[in-house]
């Protein structure tokens, strides 16, 4: 980032100061036209710049710096959005101060003033700005005539706590409270916002267990049990609720693959098919045989269907007619036909197409070029 320094006053500016001090005595700082310091402030942006108050104007007063007796450098920061401007001024050796005004020529618009760290001590001042507002940042000193070099570091945070606009990581901000008691697992009550923009849930009510009403954070409550053993993946049984309002599955029965009964998440089990009237080898284009259920009860096993419906005149990486897993010696044909029977079923209207080839790569762990 480029380092910009405040420029000394233009040639001839010192002469105007002498005349202005005599003529403007008693008129007050707020009239503005007699303040060359506000005529051409240095633009300030996020980042760091260096400067030197030596030879600067001596027009602006602040609550924590000398009354127009120490040289100053004046900057202007324009807010492109709502946010908080934070400026840190670090002197190289001198005892300098820092203040911020909302209007350069209006002493009453002072928003922050910092001059307490002593020689070479960093001073920080902040102000919340609205989009389009321009703040005046002034480096000066409480000690009459004190001047020197410094570094000015500027930050602008659009996630501002205290501007009544909840943004970023804030849970809330002042009167902008988009969260509720339920957001935090509580059931009802009033929620407010702390000064650090975190939610104050002290007026929210905790869930009551048991009261036979399922409330946030509870699986169930007493006799109110909004689920079942089968919904939780068990074969059968009676789901209960613990005293802590959590599901009690001790009365549920686990699925048993191989007992001839479809249970829980099983697709089939033995000869128990989901659609026994239509789930046959013929559905997959075979002329005979017995459709079975895979040993893990997750899918059909067409290994006993036959005769084979297709051909062996091409490999699994080549498009063509459906392959005959009863005849083809390639074990990948058998694996894929079990995985996707439609690739091996002439009645499906699907040949061994590019989709079957992609499935062969996944199922058989091969690469087809």
pLDDT computed for residue 145 by the predictor: 80
Asked if residue 142 has pLDDT above 60, the reply is yes
| Domain contains 323 | yes
Res. 9: pLDDT tops 80? no
Whether 348 and 294 share a structural domain: no
Has residue 179 been placed in a domain?
A: no
- Which of 138, 157, 176 is where one domain is finished? 157
- Model pLDDT, residue 185: 83
Write out the residue range of the structural domain in which residue 296 sits. 265-306
CATH of the domain at 41: 2.60.120.380
48 pLDDT above the threshold of 80: yes
Q: Which residues of 73-91 are buried (b: 16+ CB within 10 A; e: fewer)?
A: bbbebebeebbbbbbbbbb
Residues 270 and 366 both lie in one domain: no
Q: Which of 157, 186, 209 is the last residue of a domain?
A: 157
Same domain for 90 and 140?
Answer: yes
Q: What is the pLDDT of residue 13?
A: 42
Q: Is the model's pLDDT at 159 over the cut of 90?
A: no
- Number of independent structural domains in the chain: 3
For the ranges 1-15, 109-123, 240-254, 355-369, the lowest mean pLDDT is seen at: 1-15
Give domain status of residue 314, yes or no. yes
CA pair distance 148, 56, nearest whole angstrom: 10
Check whether residue 119 and residue 89 sit in a common domain: yes
User: Is the predicted pLDDT of residue 235 greater than 50, yes or no?
Assistant: yes
> In terms of pLDDT, which residue wins out, 367 or 43?
43
- 275 and 355 assigned to the same domain: no
Domain boundary among 157, 179, 200: 157
| 325 is a domain residue | yes
Q: 3-class DSSP state for residue 83? A: strand
Report whether 347 contacts 285 (CB < 8 A).
yes
Please give the average per-residue pLDDT across 295-314, as a whole number: 76
Q: Judge whether 175 lies within some domain.
A: no
* Alpha carbon distance 359, 332 (integer Å): 10
Assess contact for 210 and 221: CB atoms under 8 A: yes
Q: Which residue has the higher pLDDT, 332 or 52?
A: 52
Any domain includes 165: no
Same domain, 363 and 288: no
Answer yes or no: do 292 and 338 share one domain: no
Tell me whether residue 233 is in a domain.
no
Question: If pLDDT is split at 50, 70 and 90, which confidence band does 326 have?
Answer: low
The more confidently predicted of residues 31 and 343 is: 343
Could you tell me if residue 207 is inside a domain?
no
Predicted pLDDT of residue 181: 92
pLDDT at res. 28: 39
pLDDT tops 50 at residue 306: yes
- Asked if residue 282 and residue 364 are part of one domain, the reply reads no
Together in a domain, 282 and 366: no
Angle formed by the axes of helices 331-339 and 354-364, nearest 10°: 110
The helix (H) or strand (E) run that includes residue 248 is strand 247-248
Is 279 in the same domain as 339?
A: no
Residue 295 buriedness (CB in 10 A; 0-12 / 13-18 / 19+)? exposed
315 pLDDT tier (thresholds 50, 70, 90): confident
Using 50, 70 and 90 to split pLDDT, how confident is the model at 98?
very high
On whether the CB atoms of residues 323 and 316 are closer than 8 A, the answer is yes
Residues 289 and 333 reside in one and the same domain = no
What is the predicted pLDDT for the residue at 349? 57
């Amino acid at each position: 980032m480029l380092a910009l320094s405040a420029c000394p006053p233009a040639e001839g500016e010192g002469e105007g100061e002498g005349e202005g001090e005599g003529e403007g005595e008693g008129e007050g700082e707020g009239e503005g036209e007699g303040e060359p310091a506000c005529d051409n402030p240095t633009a300030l942006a996020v980042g760091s710049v260096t400067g030197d108050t030596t030879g600067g104007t001596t027009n602006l007063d602040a609550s924590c710096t000398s009354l127009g007796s120490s040289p100053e450098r004046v900057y202007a920061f324009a807010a492109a959005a709502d946010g908080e401007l934070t400026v840190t001024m670090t002197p190289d050796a001198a005892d300098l101060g820092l203040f911020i005004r909302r209007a350069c020529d209006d002493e009453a618009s002072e928003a922050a003033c910092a001059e307490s760290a002593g020689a070479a001590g960093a001073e920080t001042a902040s102000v919340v700005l609205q989009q389009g507002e321009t703040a005046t940042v002034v480096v000066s000193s409480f000690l009459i005539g004190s001047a020197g070099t410094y570094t000015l570091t500027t930050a602008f945070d659009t996630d501002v706590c205290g501007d009544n606009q909840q943004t970023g990581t804030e849970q809330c901000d002042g009167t902008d409270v988009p969260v509720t008691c339920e957001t935090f697992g509580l059931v009802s009550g009033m929620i407010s916002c702390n000064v650090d923009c975190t939610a104050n849930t002290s007026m929210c009510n905790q869930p009551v267990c048991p009261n036979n009403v399922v409330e946030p954070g509870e699986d169930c409550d007493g006799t109110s049990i909004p689920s079942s053993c089968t919904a939780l993946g068990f074969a059968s049984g009676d789901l209960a609720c613990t005293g802590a309002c959590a599901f009690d599955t001790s009365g549920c029965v686990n699925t048993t693959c191989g007992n001839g009964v479809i249970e829980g998440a099983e697709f089939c089990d033995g000869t128990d098919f989901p659609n026994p009237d239509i789930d046959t080898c013929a559905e997959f284009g075979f002329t005979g045989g017995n459709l079975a259920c895979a040993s893990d009860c997750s899918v059909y096993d067409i290994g006993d269907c036959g005769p084979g419906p297709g051909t062996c005149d091409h490999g699994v990486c080549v498009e063509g007619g459906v392959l005959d897993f009863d005849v083809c010696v390639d074990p990948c044909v058998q694996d894929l036909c079990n995985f996707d029977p439609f690739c091996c079923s002439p009645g499906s209207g699907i040949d061994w197409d590019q989709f079957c080839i992609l499935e062969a790569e996944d199922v058989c762990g091969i690469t087809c070029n």
